[in-house]
Amino acid sequence: MQGEKTAAVIGLGSMGWGAAHSLLKAGFAVHGCDVRPDVLQRFADAGGESCTTPADAAKAANVIFVFVVNSSQAEDVLFGPQGALETATLGTVFLLCTTMAPSATISIAERLEAAGMLVVDAPVSGGHLKALSGEMTVMSSGSDEAYARAEAALDAVSAKIFRLGDRPGPGSQVKMINQLLAGIHIAATAEAMTLAAKSGIDLKTLYDVLRVSAGSSWMFENRGEHIVSGDYTPRSAVNIFVKDLGIVTSEAKRTGAITPLAATALNLFVEASDAGFGLEDDAAVVKILARKSGAILPGVEGQG
């Protein structure tokens, strides 16, 4: 019989890697699954058990974290060939950490529950550094039984767990609103930095002033530094916000809400993706504004 502190993490990207690392630090036996052989090798070197299929990762786990990119991938790793549901034991807790449309989360949760599993809708926030330190924020919803069984694992990866309801759905709704703000703030940061550059303001000086002033935000403080240094190594990619702001605007249309700022930010991310920046850090949206404005920014080619 498997010990209680056995977890699987499906998807070892920026946030999934951090969660898996935090679980290892907390004494869990962790089975990690990813499609990239180099990532699996790094995970094995870090003390984890690397698995090439979700089914292999799931068969030994009491708790399974799903950290893939979108709802389509979530369905594949859960219900497809060699998916986690093929080997998961009854009563296993699935933590759905992927940012998805609330309707998609509910649909996936219902399929898992129909198969005898427990589910926590558990999207996360905080960035890759918070993930690595086990200090993510979890916006969650699910049954008391699911929470009780997943408590130790959730505590290992998070600094704050918000319980937003007793059924899957509310967690994804709140994460959607978070992503609305995050995407708009990144776009606003790009616009501010472009205007500063065109105005002849030293970007590092501006950053140092604004990060401690009323106009700052977490995204300005984090992504503004990327723009100042010209470092577009992906922590969270442009394409992530094409997806997430797409969820926002689609849900807004469905509910009748008006979201003009989200729509404008989405257009900027789509344009950046179409220009070839989709896999770069999401701060690379500034490259579109720099090109159009003729602004000179660190690390941005073809300017002026």
Q: Residues with catalytic annotation? A: 175
Q: Which DSSP string do the residues of 110-178 spell out, in sequence order?
A: HHHHHTT-EEEE--EESHHHHHHTT-EEEEEEE-HHHHHHHHHHHHHHEEEEEE--SSSSHHHHHHHHH
Nearest to 243, CA basis, from 16, 51, 70: 70
How large is the C-alpha radius of gyration of the chain? 20
Q: Please, is 66 exposed, middle or buried when counting C-beta atoms within 10 Å of its C-beta (0-12, 13-18, 19+)?
A: buried
Q: 83-117: string of b/e by CB count within 10 Å (b at 16+)? A: bbbbbbeeebbbbbbbbbbbebbbebbeebbeeeb
d(CA 5, CA 26): 9
Report which secondary-structure segment, H or E, holds 185.
Answer: helix 170-198
